[in-house]
Amino acid sequence: MKTIRFKLVVGILLCSLLTAVIVGVLSIRSTMQISEADSRENMVNQTAAVANEMDSTVLRVEQSVNILADIVKSRISERRFFSDVNYADAFTNEVLEQVFRFSEHTDGAITSYIRYNPEYSNPTSGCFLTRNSLSEPFNAVEPTDFSMYDPSDLEHVGWYYIPVNNGGPIWMDPYLNSNINVYMISYVVPIYAEDGTSIGIVGMDIAFTALTDMIDGISLFDTGYGFLTNKDGNIVYHKSAEVGQALSSLDGSLSGVGSYIQATSNNTAYEYKYNGVEKLLVSTPLKNGMILVLTAPKKEIFAEAYSLLFIILGAILLAIVVSSVVGLLVGNGLSKPIHTLTEIIGKTAKLDLTSSESGHELMKHKDEIGQMANGVYDMRSSFREMVSSFRSVEKTINESIDELDAIMRENNDRADNNSEETGHLAEGMKKAADNTSQIVETVERAKNQTREINSLAVKSEEDSREIQARAGEMEQRSTLSSEKTHEMYDVMKVKSDEAIEKSKAVKRINELTDDIKSISSQTNLLALNASIEAARAGDAGRGFAVVADEIGSLAAETLKTVDNISGIVDEVSDAMANLNDCITELMSFLEETVLTDYGMFKDSGARYREDADYFIAKMAEVRSGTASLEMHIEEIVSAAGDINNMTENSSNRIDDIAGRSDEMRVSNDKGYRKLLEAREAVRELGEITDRFNWR
């Protein structure tokens, strides 16, 4: 396995090498481009400098000739010139002094002349000033005789006819003046009349060396040189080629150079090969129509770039060596703390979170290593806090599970107790329902008997009225009435005894209401206990608390209903007491008065009628009392029915409570199983945290 140090060193070396190569290539390329551009620019600038110097000489000649031409043109009389053959000679004498002065003040001037159209002047008219060297003064010599040459003889008189035919100023090609054996170049300005007829020419020759010396003085690298061509690409001056020779004739590869020279209109560079040597050429046109060309070998032009190339290559090698050393140092410097961090991270992977002195030393670094060390330290600290939190949570969960276990057990016990108590309560409610049914039946019988008493009272009242109506017949029928009275007494006696006996059922109602009150109190107490237990159970006992509240409410309603029944029973008891008193009084009356004094009825009909009225009144009271009793009994029946319904509903609800208690017990069993699963999970969490070494 390759170490980080090896990777860092190799990476730094590769990066350095790649950087050096890229920088070197870019530097070499930029250097070559810059060097070539500088060389081209130097050649262009040098060409332009030489051209400017040569153009200065040419412009001075042009200026002098142009001024002389203007003088001639402004002073000559066209009328006299075209009408008098000798006028040209006279005019020449007038301007000869000025021709001398301009010739002497023009640098490089060898000859200066004014010649006239031989058709309107003498063949030798005009002036011709010359000197053998630039250091000698000008002398006037006899001009060339036009009569000796044909106008088509350009070799001898071309200097005149070529400018005239050109129609404007012209620089003539260099030529050798055999009279003075000087190679020279001429600038000629033709002069025309207003109608375009040629008057003559004004010209000046300068030694061609005035230009070629400038070219020979060019220092262009080691073997670079300059030469002149005309606009057709033919050589005008070259150190090793003949004048007038075309460049393409020197070497076939130079045909492109001739085309380039002829086409060039600015200072640009051109690459070509001559005699196997790659060269660079720069050309620029001169004011006299010639083209100045500078050329040099490319290896000389780029010699500086090649030298710089070796320097750059050496710098690249030095950079690689330095990068290797730096890579080793940096690799060692980085790999050591990284190795230490790797060991710490390895300990962390093995759940060993104990403190490390080397890690604390790394945290003091102010670089990325220090940041990594601080990050690892924070991570390990977080792990320690997490393990500590796990321990605390494990302890808390265990305590909570123990408490929950105890609560679940208590809930199970309470659920069992609730089931038993609910069963007892259901049985009690069933008994209460049975007793309530008996009360309803008893009250119903009392109601029927009351109706019979009421009917009897009505009948007694009617009988009393009949007795009152038949008072006159009492005496006659006293014996029969006495018998009937005894019979009635016996019947009334039996019925009154039965009524009195049945009135004792009211006491049984009171006893039943007392039993119901006791059951209601027990139910209320049971509901209170259930509410307390539900509150202790918390969320698990909320449903049971609702049932307990309903049972409490049912007990309260039962107690309230029983109180109402007690009030009604009291009223019934009062009515039965009144009825008993009435019956007792009636029976006493029958026994003590009617039966005892029955014989007296025969003699005291009027008194009998009074007694009959009294009896009617009493019967009305009995009927009123029985009606009130019947109404109260109706209320008792209704209340007893409600009690019966409530007891049945309570019994059903208690059965529901019992079922829910069983469901709650089942739910508690499920919760207990989940509790055991949670305990197992906490045990596994403890085993996981035990694997950490963090103290």
Tokens 């130097």 label which residue?
A: 42
Nearest-Å Rg of the Cα atoms of the chain is 78
* pLDDT score of 88 more than 80: yes
Q: What value does the mean pLDDT take over residues 27-32?
A: 73
**164 has pLDDT over 80:** yes
| Helix H or strand E encompassing 115 | strand 109-116
pLDDT of residue 504: 64
Look at residue 598 and tell me whether its pLDDT is greater than 90.
Answer: no
Give pLDDT, residue 29: 75
pLDDT of 457 > 60? The answer is no
pLDDT band, residue 425 (cuts 50/70/90): low
pLDDT at 108: 85
Q: What is the pLDDT of residues 238-269, one digit of tens each?
A: 888 888 888 777 766 676 777 777 675 556 67
Contact 637, 443 (CB under 8 A): yes
* pLDDT band per the 50, 70, 90 thresholds, residue 273: confident
Single-letter residue type at 550: E
Task: Decide if 76-212 and 435-661 have a common fold.
Answer: no
Report pLDDT for 197.
Answer: 95
166 close to 44: Cβ distance less than 8 angstroms: no
Cα–Cα distance list, 228 to 49, 51, 90, 157 (Å) = 15, 11, 41, 25
Average pLDDT, integer, range 321-343: 69
State the residue for tokens 């100045």: 292
Give mean pLDDT, residues 381-408: 70
**For the range 55-58, what are the long-range contacts, defined as Cβ-Cβ under 8 Å and sequence gap of 24 or more?**
55/286, 55/287, 57/107, 57/108, 57/206, 57/210, 57/211, 58/171, 58/187, 58/211, 58/286, 58/287, 58/288
Residue 508, pLDDT score: 65
Cβ 4 vs Cβ 338: under 8 Å: yes
Q: How far apart are CA 55 and CA 287, in angstroms?
A: 6
CB of 171 closer than 8 Å to CB of 288: yes
- Give dist(CA 325, CA 693) in Å, integer: 42
At residue 467, the pLDDT reads 59
pLDDT, residue 96, reads 95
Joined tokens for residue 451: 């109706």
The label of the residue with tokens 């000679």 reads: 89
Q: What is the pLDDT of residues 101-159, one digit of tens each?
A: 999 999 889 999 999 999 999 999 999 999 988 888 999 999 999 999 999 998 889 88
Return the top range by mean pLDDT from 214-223, 323-332, 370-379. 214-223
Give tens-digit pLDDT for 193-202.
999 999 999 9
Closest CA to 71 of 92, 47, 50: 92
The pLDDT, as a whole number, for residue 594 is: 56
Q: How far apart are CA 89 and CA 125, in angstroms?
A: 6
Query: Helix H segments across 241-354?
Result: 247-250, 255-263, 298-301, 303-349
Sequence-distant (6+) residues with CB within 8 A of 331 are: 4, 5, 6, 8, 9, 12
Q: What is the share, in percent, of the chain residues with pLDDT greater than 90?
A: 18
**What local confidence, expressed as pLDDT, does residue 375 receive?**
79
The pLDDT of residue 635 is above 90: no
Burial class (CB in 10 A: 0-12, 13-18, 19+), 168: exposed
Tell me the two tokens of residue 60. Answer: 């001075």
Give the contacts of 86 (CB within 8 A, at least 6 positions apart): 122
Residues near 402 by beta carbon (within 8 Å), at least 6 away in sequence: none
More confident residue, 201 or 630: 201
Residue 72 has pLDDT above 80, yes or no: yes
DSSP string computed for 486-509: HHHHHHHHHHHHHHHHHHTHHHHH
Q: Taking the CB of residue 295, how many other CB atoms lie within 10 A of it?
A: 21
* Whether the predicted pLDDT of 470 surpasses 80: no
Q: Which residues of 601-615 are buried (b: 16+ CB within 10 A; e: fewer)?
A: beeebeebbebbeeb
The pLDDT, as a whole number, for residue 219 is 82
Arithmetic mean of pLDDT, 521-527: 71
Q: How far, in Å, are 335, 389, 619, 647 from residue 347 at the CA level?
A: 18, 21, 114, 75
Residue with more model confidence, 598 or 624: 624
Q: Which are the contacts of 578, defined by CB distance < 8 A and separation ≥ 6?
A: 625
Residue 89 pLDDT greater than 90, yes or no: yes
Q: In whole numbers, what is the pLDDT of the chain averaged over residues?
A: 75
Domain boundaries, given as residue ranges, for the chain: 76-212, 435-661
Q: Is 381 left (phi over 0), alpha (psi -120 to 50) or beta?
A: alpha
**Lookup: tokens for 69:** 């031409």
d(CA 85, CA 119): 9
Phi, psi for 195 (deg, rounded to 5): -90, 5
% of the chain beyond a pLDDT of 70: 59
CB neighbours of residue 350 within 10 Å: 11
pLDDT in tens, 292-315: 888 888 888 777 767 777 787 787
What is the bridge-based pairing of β-strands 277-285 and 268-274?
antiparallel
Q: What is the pLDDT of residue 48?
A: 87
Which range among 43-52, 61-70, 678-687 shows the weakest confidence by mean pLDDT? Answer: 678-687
Tell me what the mean pLDDT of segment 342-361 comes to.
72
Classify 76-212 by CATH class: alpha beta
pLDDT at 625 over 70: no
Q: What is the pLDDT of residue 140?
A: 94
Residues near 395 by Cβ (< 8 Å), separated by ≥ 6? none
515 pLDDT higher than 90? no
Largest distance between two CA atoms of the chain: 227
Q: What is the C-alpha to C-alpha distance for residues 372 and 365, in angstroms, rounded to an integer? A: 10
Residues 6 or more apart whose Cβ sits within 8 Å of residue 130: 110, 111, 112, 138, 139, 141, 179, 180
Q: Tell me which CATH code domain 435-661 carries.
A: 1.10.287
Question: What are 174-182's contacts with CB under 8 Å, separation 24+?
Answer: 174/208, 174/236, 174/237, 174/243, 177/110, 177/111, 177/205, 179/130, 180/110, 180/130, 180/132, 182/110, 182/132, 182/207
334, 337, 343, 347 alpha-carbon torsion, rounded to 10°:
-130
Mean pLDDT over 90-101 rounds to 95
516 close to 643: Cβ distance less than 8 angstroms = yes
Statement: residue 622 has pLDDT above 60: no
Q: Which of 125, 113, 283, 122 is nearest to 206 (CA)?
A: 113
Residue 507 is predicted with a pLDDT of 64
Handedness of CA 518, 521, 527, 533 (dihedral sign): negative
| Residue showing tokens 């090498």 | 17
Helix (H) or strand (E) holding 635: helix 605-690
Query: 671 versus 100: which is more confidently predicted?
Result: 100
